[in-house]
Structure 1
Amino acid sequence: MYGSATTTLKTPAATPQGTDRPMHRMTFRMLFMGSVFACALASPGPAPAAEAEADTPERVLVPFNPGWQLTPDRFDPYLLAQDIASATDVTSPAASTPTDTPVAQLEGSVKSEARPNYALPAVEIIGFNFLLNRFNYHFIDKPVYDTSLQTIRDNLSAKWVVDTDPFAVNQFMHPYQGSVYFGLARSSGLDYWKSLGYTFGGSLIWEIAGETGPPSINDFVTTGLGGTFLGEPLFRMANLLLEHGGDTPGFWRETGAAAISPPLGFNRLAFGDRFRAVFQSHNPATYSYVRFGWNKIDDALDGIVGQTVKRDTATVDFHMSYGLPGKNGYRYTRPFDYFDFDFTATTANVFENIMSRGLLIGKEYTAGDNYRSIWGLYGSYDYISPQTFRVSSTAVSFGTTAQWWISDNVALLGTALAGVGYGAAGTIHGQGERNYHYGATPQALLSLRLLLGERVNVDLTARSYYVSDVASTEDRGTERIFRGDAAFTMRIHGPHALTLKYNASRRDARYPDIPNTLQTVRTVSLLYTYYFGDARFGAVEWREAGER
């Protein structure tokens, strides 16, 4: 029935689907990848050493405090949230003056920084691959992970293929695995581009020596590129949490940073003062919130097979925009000095979406007194999985992100991107276990946020993906995916707000040997929203008082 908690969608004809490996295998693998590093949180680290003279402006040495002797107020989650809010408020006078920020104060007190270590991440990546292989051998699939010198020799001469692992393994677990490689290199003092090389190196080692099957092209792309596009936002968010903790980040900040970026937490604890330097954010303008609430599927149509959907689910969203344009003195000289990160989980399918996009190479530009923008080459990783279908892409795009003050209290913020990636989508029955289709994926994004003073904002986002038959093992069909969101938010008091959100997802699949397929899911959500330090929903104020 329409109003029931679960509904079986009936269709005129059913097409057999492939059989994925049991989902618990993917869960075990994900838990292990984090637990290799999370075990370091069980004990405090060594005492901090004395500070010395600084020789580089990029990283700040912050002594480690495991938190066992913190005062009770440092453990109060509400006070912690307020601390984050005050440190990231983009509209406060303190935030607009770099010399008054906590970052600048830390820079003035720093005396030393460790040099980048090139050998350590190589050793750590090899060790991580070995431990992951042994875990998978004992708990996931012995034949697949029963590697030997002979399988390594075979893979060195084998032809690269597109593998048949389940969608979540290829499109989420491999990018997350790549983010671990990337995080190990970044937290050892290496910059983005050098860490990118280590990520591809770790992926290559895994493809040759981590599994018995032939090396996989799609895994190499999603682990190497997707891992960095996901890993850099995780690395920066973890460091931002530490950076605003002052000279001695407390227990909750250290734990939170390790949860966001386990490789960072591991290196900070395992190697003492050597890697406790905090990455300098240069005080970006940020906009972040968390939402909790209820989803109801308003309409669902499935044109392939009968599927059961949960119409009523609980949901949690997290969003962060980092490096918003218009901040006086902030420059875009490093990859991901601007990025957007979104994560949504529901009780229906756990990971509803994980999306990350950031400016790889670009610069600022202005148009008049009321317009500030950045433009250039962006990198993105998207994983979107409504209950009836899914799409994922690792891509590069050209585009722009801008803010325009329409009037004294009304602003329009937006991003427009167009590019191409390597993506996967669908629920079709392919070869082996695959029930999705790979291919070169042209894609586009348009995101707008209208701010009406400090009380109301309206968000509109549209994403489009075309998973083609180019660079695909199945050159017989295509997938067109559209996802649109509209959200109306009203601030109730301080950081507290209510949000009404509407989401529509659509899949149009066309293959010569099966009927054309149309799947749609439309969802209405009522959400409580908590904002971290954004008095004006992320609007950056660069105008002088007399110009408003």
Structure 2
Amino acid sequence: MSTSNAILEGLHDNSRNGNGSRSDDGFRRALLAGTIALVLLLPGAGFAAEPPAAGTPAKAAVVAVDNLLITTPPPPPNVRRPILSWGEGNGKSRFIPALEIVGFEALLNVYGRIVYPDDVDPNYSEGHKVFSVTPSTAWRHLTKGPWGFDGDSFQVNQIQHPYQGAVYQGFARSAGLGFWESAAYTFLGSFLWEVAGETTKPSINDQVASGIGGSLLGEPLFRLSSLVLEDGKENPGFWRELGAAVLSPPAGFNRHVFGDRFKGVFPSHSPATFTRVRLGANFTGHATGPGADNNVTRNEGALDYYLAYGLPGKDGYTYDRPFDYFDIQFTAVSSRNVFENIMTRGLLYGKKYEAGDDYRGVWGLYGSFDYISPQIFRVSSTTLSLGTTGQWWLTRAIALQGSAFGGIGYGAAGTVHPTELRDYHYGATGHGLLAARLIFGDKAMFDMTAREYYISGFGSTQVDGSERIFRGNASLTVSVYKRHGIGIQYILSQRDASSPGIPGTHQTVGTWSLAYNFLGDSRFGAVEWRPGEIRSR
């Protein structure tokens, strides 16, 4: 779709509301400092001081605290066994997913012709109806392009298009293909849609969002779907089949249309996992900058889902396949945003490592897709990062889990306006993340996360503009009864947009939340590998 002449919307915001900025900066610095302090507490740091000698009062105090923090029996070992054969013999096909992707895109085009028969984009479809594709328009896009940036809304480009790519990934994965081969299907499927799905000119940002972001979103959804089926053993039952199909519709389609051919379930190899579901209320007490006066819903309901898959430390678990470690989170809210965030990151290639008896980790190349929309602005990115994830047992009962990443990719950001127009800006993106979780036995966990995005002018229609977005959160979850708990959280989101010769835009949103938590693990996901603790089970 054609090169946009849209202007970075933040450059129109000529006022900068600085109310509360000093306190926000203070919180931001404190959050970053606290997160860095926790994440960078590598095992070697603990060796600076000698541990208390056995039998000393300090040692006795540590043991007493550990005993207070662990009062319930540990969860049983998580062992999942393969169901049938997956990706072998007749359970693998390269032709079927290719045909399905082409058919899916044909159905999307027919749907567009029926629902939007007279839709014409004056800037991007060259006067043609958007869905009135002909061989000549497809050939022109293939041979001449020109590739550019489209004018679709932020939600279309940064949610619907990645999900479209996730469908392609799901078709290929559920037909028995590996991650990288399926990623090629996703990329080529996106390319086919850009060339022959619409009359609008092919779009670089859509190719990134669907062709690359789609794989990074689709793989966790496929693995989640497979995990639901695998936990149901040989006969998952109606509800598990339905849940798996909702998580990955193309996988559900292949299971039911092709009978036993694709009934084999992707083998998880029994990863260590942690699941958390939160249901509660958000209270936005602080919002400044453009849109803060009329675009903010102060009180809203919220549903949050989080899964960490393949946590380091489980004996015998390996990271031989892409996404053998990943985490995924999404938050749905009752305001018009619907999705406040969708975030996933997975290990594409890496190795596990250890330090002493109490630390286990994995490091390597990660791929991530993020979508964050804190009411008055939003940001989305598809990035590749180098990083690490690990766990350190501080005492018998207290564990520290953490992640640190830094990388580059492509992203978009902008202010939320009342109308869904092209109101944001694309560019090459730098992304960094620091996260830590301090687990206190089976009693509580404390989380801190800091993310930063820098949307540059490189690879953009606005080469002089840039945006810097910060997202920090701190939360405390306390167990009330077994896997039921309550939690409180504070999230600070901050955006600064600038361009030469135009006043900058500063926006902040501060939100408290109080929620009921259902936990997938009574130990908050702490992975146990220490022989003495395992024998005590």
Alignment of 1:337-376 (within 5 A): 337-348=324-335, 349-376=337-364
Q: Write out aligned runs for 1:169-318 (5 A).
A: 169-303=156-290, 306-318=293-305
Pair 1:130 & 2:118 matched: no
* Corresponding residue number in structure 2 for 1:94: 77
Task: Report the residue type matching 1:129 in the other structure.
Answer: E
- Mapped partners of 1:352, 1:290: distance in 2: 15
**Displacement of 1:276:** 0.7
Change (3 A) 1:455 1:191: same
Deviations 1:306-344 (A, max 9, x none): 532110000000000000000000000000000000010
Contact 1:147-1:210 within 8 A present in 2 as well: yes
Q: Distance in 2 between matches of 1:180 and 1:186?
A: 10
Distance apart, 1:419 and its partner CA = 0.1
Structure 1 residues 129, 112: closer, same or farther in 2, change over 3 A? closer
**Deviates further, 193-202 or 299-308:** 299-308
Alignment CA distance shift 1:226-1:285 (3 Å) = same
Partner-residue secondary structure (3-state), 1:307: coil
Q: How far apart are residue 153 of structure 1 and its match?
A: 1.9
Question: Do structure 1's residue 114 and structure 2's residue 90 form an aligned pair?
Answer: yes
Matches within 5 A, 1:434-449: 434-449=422-437
Alpha-carbon distance, 1:124 to partner: 0.4
The change in CA–CA distance for 1:140 and 1:390 in structure 2 (over 3 A counts) is farther
Rate the CA distance shift 1:377–1:300 in 2: closer, same or farther, 3 A. same
Cα–Cα, structure 1 residues 428 and 308, in superposed 2: closer, same or farther, change >3 Å?
Answer: closer
Query: Is it true that 1:159 corresponds to 2:136 in the alignment?
Result: no
Name the aligned partner's letter for residue 259 of structure 2.
Answer: G
Q: Does 1:146 align with 2:149?
A: no
Q: Superposed, which structure 2 residues align to 1:447-486 within 5 Å?
A: 447-486=435-474
Deviation at 1:404, TM superposition (A): 0.1
Deviations 1:389-424 (A, max 9, x none): 000000000000000000110000011000001000
Change (3 A) 1:338 1:215: same
1:405 — aligned with what?
A: 393
Counterpart check, 1:393 vs 2:381: yes
Per the alignment, in what secondary structure is the counterpart of residue 145 of structure 1? coil
The reply to whether residue 422 of structure 1 matches residue 410 of structure 2 is yes
1:102: how far off?
A: 3.8
Task: State the alpha-carbon separation in 2 of the partners of residues 368 and 248 from structure 1.
Answer: 42
Offset from partner CA, 1:187-235 (integer Å, 9 cap, x none): 0000001001100110011001001011111100111110000000000
Amino acid at match of 1:165: D
User: 1:302/1:140 Cα in 2 relative to 1: closer, same or farther (>3 Å)?
Assistant: farther
Mark the runs of 5 or more structure 1 residues left unpaired by the alignment.
1-10, 17-88, 96-100
* CA distance 1:420–1:268, change in 2 (3 Å): same
d(CA) in 1 for partners of 2:249, 2:110: 20
The alignment partner of 2:232 has SS state of: coil
- Conserved? CA contact 1:357–1:379, under 8 Å: yes
- When the two structures are aligned, how many residues end up with a matched partner? 455
Q: 1:110 to 1:218 in 2, by over 3 A?
A: closer
Using the TM superposition, give the Cα deviation of residue 514 of structure 1 relative to its aligned residue in structure 2, in angstroms.
3.4
Cross-structure match for 2:527: 540
**Mean CA deviation greater in 472-481 or 316-325:** 472-481
- Unpaired runs of 5+ residues, structure 2, are 1-9, 16-71, 120-128
Q: What SS class does the counterpart of residue 243 from structure 2 fall into?
A: helix
Structure 2 residue matching 1:181: 3-state secondary structure: helix
- Find 2:308's aligned residue among 321, 327, 330: 321
- Alpha-carbon RMSD across the aligned residues, in angstroms, is 2.3
What is the Cα deviation at residue 535 of structure 1?
1.9
User: Which of 96, 103, 109 is residue 81 of structure 2 equivalent to?
Assistant: 103
Q: SS in structure 2 opposite 1:242?
A: helix
Amino acid at match of 2:319: Y
CA 1:360–1:324 in 2, change beyond 3 Å: closer, same or farther? same
* Letter of the 2:234 counterpart: D
> After TM superposition, where is structure 1 displaced by more than 2 Å over at least 4 residues in a row?
13-16, 89-95, 109-115, 303-308
Distance apart, 1:15 and its partner CA: 6.4
Instruction: Answer whether contact 2:14 2:505 (CA < 8 A) is retained.
Output: no
For 1:54, the equivalent position in structure 2 comes to none
- Say if 1:546 and 1:265 are closer, same or farther in 2 by CA, change over 3 A: closer
Distance 1:325 1:152 in 2: 47
Any conservation in 1 of the 2:465–2:498 contact (CA below 8 Å)? yes
Say if 1:128 and 1:90 are closer, same or farther in 2 by CA, change over 3 A: farther
TM-score by length of 1: 0.80
1:201 and 1:307, CA in 2 relative to 1: closer, same or farther beyond 3 A?
A: same
Contact 2:13–2:503 (Cα < 8 Å) also in 1: no
Q: 1:90 to 1:522 in 2, by over 3 A?
A: farther
How far is the alpha carbon of 1:103 from its aligned partner? 1.4
Go from structure 1 to structure 2 and tell me whether the alpha carbon gap of 1:183 and 1:400 turns closer, same or farther (over 3 Å shift).
same
Q: 1:502 touches 1:523 (CA, 8 Å); kept in 2?
A: yes
Paired residue secondary structure (2:228): helix
CA distance in 2, matches of 1:514, 1:229: 36
Question: What is the aligned partner in structure 1 of residue 56 from structure 2?
Answer: none
| Residues 428 and 527 of structure 1, relative CA distance in 2, 3 Å threshold | closer
Q: Do the aligned residues in 1 keep the contact of 2:326 with 2:344 (CA within 8 Å)?
A: yes
CA contact (8 A) 1:121 1:185 kept: yes
Note if contact 2:88-2:176 (Cα within 8 Å) is conserved in structure 1.
no
Structure 2 equivalent of residue 508 of structure 1: 496
Write the distance in 2 (CA, Å) between the matches of 1:345 and 1:541: 32
Q: In the alignment, is residue 497 of structure 1 matched against residue 485 of structure 2?
A: yes
**CA deviation string 1:123-156 (max 9, x = no partner):** 0000000000111222146321111112112212
Query: How far apart, in 1, do the equivalents of 2:396 and 2:519 lie?
Result: 22
Distance 1:428 1:318, change over 3 A: closer
Contact 1:440 1:469 in 2 (8 A): yes
> Are the counterparts in 1 of residues 468 and 496 from structure 2 also a CA contact under 8 Å?
yes
Q: Identical aligned pairs, as a percentage?
A: 52
Matched AA of 2:411: G
Aligned equivalents of 1:459, 1:405: Cα separation in 2:
16
| One-letter amino acid matched to 2:311 | L
Contact 2:332 / 2:339 at 8 angstroms: preserved in 1? yes
1:258 corresponds to which letter in structure 2? A
Whether 1:518 and 2:494 are equivalent positions in the alignment is: no
Equivalent in the alignment of 1:51: none
